[in-house]
Amino acid sequence: MTRNSSWRTSAGDAIDPVLKLVKARADKQEAPNGSMDDRGSFQDALQMLTRLMRPEYTQPVMDVTTSLTANTDPLGAYADLLRLLAAKGDDKLTTPLFLKVAQAGAVPGLSGPFEAAMSVLKHSTDPDVVEYLMSHVKDDGGPVRETAYRCLALTGGDAGVETVRSIRRSMPALDDTKRAVLAAAVECHYHFKDTNPMPVSITLPAGLDVFDMPSFSYITVHESGLKPDYEAHLLTFVAPSTYFDGAAYYPDDLEGPILWNADETEAKVGLKIFYDPKTPDSYDVTLRKFGTDWLPVDYVELEAS
């Protein structure tokens, strides 16, 4: 027996008692008289489970998760275990559960389970998931619509591509590919933000002249302008934080905002948005070329550093 297989056996032997401990401490945390000490004890057990977690343990972890109260408390044990399944579980097994969670909807401010579900569903080509997202992509509002717009070109086949094309804003012809990619990345972020308009100043990479963005008539790219505050904010393009799995390159500047795949049919762009001078939100947007159009296929909000 190799050292690696011995470790796997040890991990497998450990998973059952750890799951029992997680369940017991979760129940205590979620009890009406649960305390912060109980939450700390649960988090200790969850950390042990996180270290042991492998895709082959997905089903027993799901069994424990679904035995808990399906609360929408972002600090609840149910949400924590869903996040673990989203990060380390076998998507083939978790997808039906996450579809059920998504269909139950998100509670504003208490959306931990829903967000965990969407982090898995946005990459799924399961027909039931695609049908669910397609049914919401033209909603009047809501987070399902945003997720659907940002993933269906990749997961929904030709129908997904045509649907995303049909609801995107009119994209003016831009004179080079870099402009088209940057404009599509900004559109991906602002496409559904009409209900809360505010002025946006956008800084451009070196070598690019001013150009109008398609998302809003009042968003015009310029190299200097508004200072970020709660009435106006600043967007700047940065190097994306996540890399392509295969060959990829920055053509000119290693700190440049666009990472290309080998044949330049896919690009990643980093967006950093300042609502005040010190606390930006950061995103990675992945775009793919469909014919002459650049459409979003993934969108990731990055944790603040």
Least confident of 106-115, 129-138, 160-169, 191-200: 191-200
**pLDDT at site 242:** 85
Query: pLDDT class for 287, splitting at 50, 70, 90?
Result: very high
**pLDDT at site 3:** 40
- 259 contacts 240 by C-beta, under 8 angstroms: yes
Angle (nearest 5°) at CA 191 between 187 and 208: 20
pLDDT (tens digit per residue) in 220-231: 656 555 677 767
State yes or no: pLDDT of 241 exceeds 80.
yes
DSSP state of 110: B
**pLDDT at site 8:** 41
**pLDDT at site 74:** 58
DSSP state of 165: H
State yes or no: pLDDT of 6 exceeds 50.
no
**pLDDT at site 189:** 86
State yes or no: pLDDT of 202 exceeds 80.
yes
State yes or no: pLDDT of 109 exceeds 70.
no
Indicate the pTM of the whole model. Answer: 0.82
DSSP per residue, 208-225: ----B-SS-TT-B--SS-
Q: Where are the alpha helices (DSSP H) in 53-197?
A: 58-66, 77-88, 91-104, 112-121, 127-136, 143-155, 157-167, 177-190
Least confident of 111-115, 137-141, 249-253, 263-267: 249-253
Task: Report which of residues 2 and 60 the model is more confident about.
Answer: 60
Nearest Cα to Cα of residue 113 among 151, 166, 74: 74
Mean pLDDT estimate for the chain: 84
**pLDDT at site 223:** 54
Which residues fall within 8 angstroms of residue 272, CB to CB, at 6 or more apart? 235, 236, 237, 238, 280, 281, 282, 283
Residues forming a β-bridge with 300? 284
Least confident of 47-51, 71-75, 141-145, 177-181: 71-75
Residue 181 has a CB neighbour count (10 Å cut-off) of 24
How far apart are alpha carbons 59 and 56 in whole angstroms?
Answer: 8
Residue 5 has a CB neighbour count (10 Å cut-off) of 9
**Average pLDDT of the residues in 28-57:** 91
Please state the separation of Cα 168 from the chain's center in Å.
20
State yes or no: pLDDT of 170 exceeds 50.
yes
**pLDDT at site 222:** 60
DSSP state of 73: -
Query: pLDDT class for 138, splitting at 50, 70, 90?
Result: confident
**pLDDT at site 261:** 92
